[in-house]
Amino acid sequence: MKYLITIIGPTAIGKTSLSIVLANYFKCDIISCDSRQFFKEMTIGTAVPSKLERAAANHHFIQNKSILENYTVGDFEKEAIAKLAELFLTNDYAILVGGSGLYVDAILKGFDQFPEIEPAVRSDVNAKYEKLGIGYLQQKLEVLDPDYYKTIMEENPQTLQNPQRMMRFVEVCAGSGKPYSSFLNQKQNSRQFTPILIGLEAERKIIYNRINQRVDIMINEGLLAEAKDLFAHKELNALQTVGYRELFSYFNREISLDFAIEEIKKNTRRFSKRQLTWFKRNENTKWFDFETPYEKIIEYLNSKK
C-alpha cells in the first residue's frame, strides 16, 4: 500500500515545519503544493521554505518554474502524479503539503468535475471581455477547445453570444490548462495511492497574529525590493498575488507604503479564511491544533496503516 500524507491548513500555521519532521520520520520526499512557490522569481512573498529547510528534506516543485511560463493546475497535476509514481517505486510514503486547495484536489482526486477557478484567472478573463468584447471570448474558446467550439457552432450557435457562459468556458480552459469539454461526462480518476489527510488549525486570533508577524518578517527580509524587481511583469497571472498586488499599487503611487503593508495583512487574513472554508469541506481530514506535539501526529499516522 502506498500512502500520500497530505498536510493542509491556512497560511502561516506551520505546515512546512511539520512536513519536514514527517519526511524525516518516514524517510520520504515532499511534494510542494503551493501555486505560487513554483515560481523561482518569487521567494520572499510566497514564504518559500528556506535553504536550511529544503536541505533537511527532499522537496519537489519548489521554484521550478518561471513566472514567464504558462503553468496551470492541469500541468501541475500531470507532473506531480508522474513524480509520485516515481517516488512510490522505492518508498511507501510521500508527503504533499501546501495551502492551495485547488492544487491539492487536483492531486488527490483529479478533475472528475469542473474545478474551482482561481479568482485571478476569473478577473483576467472578465477584464479582457470588458475591454475586447464577446469576440475575444469566441476566439479564445476556438483556440483553447476547438472541438467544443465546433459543437456549439453546430448545435447551439446562440451560446457564442452569451457572455456569462463564454467567460465560464474560457476561464475553465485558462485556469485548468485543459479543454472545457474534457470535464464533460468524465469518470472518476483513479489514484494508485491512499491519501491520509491531516490539517493544522488554531483559533482565528492566533492565525491572524501569525499572519501579521509573517508579513512584518517578509518586509524586513526584502519583500519591497523583490516586488520592485517584478513590477515590470505586474500583469502576469502569477503576480496577481497577495503581497505583490498591494506593493504594485504603492509603486504606482496609488497608496502609501504603510497602507500597502496593512492591505497585505488584511488580504492574507481573508485568504486564510477562504483556505479553511475550502479545506473544511473534506470530512476525511483529521484536524490537529497547530501546537500538537509531533509525536501525537506520527502516532495517528501509524494507526492508519
Is 14 annotated in a binding site? The answer is yes
Question: Domain check: are 162 and 75 in the same one?
Answer: no
Domain membership of residue 154 as a residue range: 119-183
Strand order in the sheet with 93-97: 59-60, 30-32, 93-97, 3-8, 194-201, 286-289
Indicate whether 246 belongs to any domain: no
Is 74 annotated in a binding site? The answer is no
> Tell me: the pLDDT tens digits for 179-193?
998 887 665 567 889
Residues forming a β-bridge with 5: 95, 196
Is 151 annotated in a binding site? The answer is no
The arithmetic mean of pLDDT across residues 169-181, rounded, is 92
> Tell me: the pLDDT tens digits for 236-262?
878 988 999 999 999 999 999 999 999
Indicate whether 129 belongs to any domain: yes
Number of domains within the chain: 2
Indicate whether 270 belongs to any domain: no
Indicate whether 254 belongs to any domain: no
Whether the per-residue pLDDT at 230 is higher than 60: the answer is yes
* CATH number for the domain harbouring residue 179: 1.10.20
Is 12 annotated in a binding site? The answer is yes
Report the distance separating Cα 85 and Cα 66, nearest Å: 25
Question: Domain check: are 132 and 104 in the same one?
Answer: no
Is 175 annotated in a binding site? The answer is no
Looking from the CA of 238 toward its CB, the CA atoms found within 13 Å total: 26
Buried b (16+ CB within 10 A) or exposed e, 43-76: bbbbbbbeeebbebbebbbbbebebeeebbbbbb
Task: Tell me how far CA of residue 262 lies from CA of 20, 253, 257, 269, in angstroms.
Answer: 31, 16, 9, 11
Is 27 annotated in a binding site? The answer is no
Is 8 annotated in a binding site? The answer is no
Question: Domain check: are 56 and 194 in the same one?
Answer: yes
| 247 burial via Cβ count (<10 Å: 0-12, 13-18, 19+) | buried
Residue of higher predicted confidence among 73 and 29: 29
The pLDDT of residue 66 is 95
> Tell me: the pLDDT tens digits for 53-101?
999 999 999 999 999 988 888 889 999 999 999 999 999 999 999 888 8
- Residue 102 CB partners (closer than 8 Å, separation 6+): 35, 73, 115, 116, 117, 118
Question: Domain check: are 104 and 143 in the same one?
Answer: no
User: Please, what's the largest Cα pairwise distance for the chain?
Assistant: 61
> Tell me: the pLDDT tens digits for 111-123?
656 778 888 899 9
The pLDDT of residue 163 is 87
pTM of the shown model: 0.78
Report whether 210 contacts 17 (CB < 8 A).
Answer: no
Question: Domain check: are 284 and 169 in the same one?
Answer: no
> Tell me: the pLDDT tens digits for 7-18?
999 999 999 999
Within the chain, strands assigned E span 3-8, 30-32, 59-60, 93-97, 194-201, 286-289
Indicate whether 45 belongs to any domain: yes
Report the distance separating Cα 67 and Cα 31, nearest Å: 20
Indicate whether 68 belongs to any domain: yes
Indicate whether 265 belongs to any domain: no
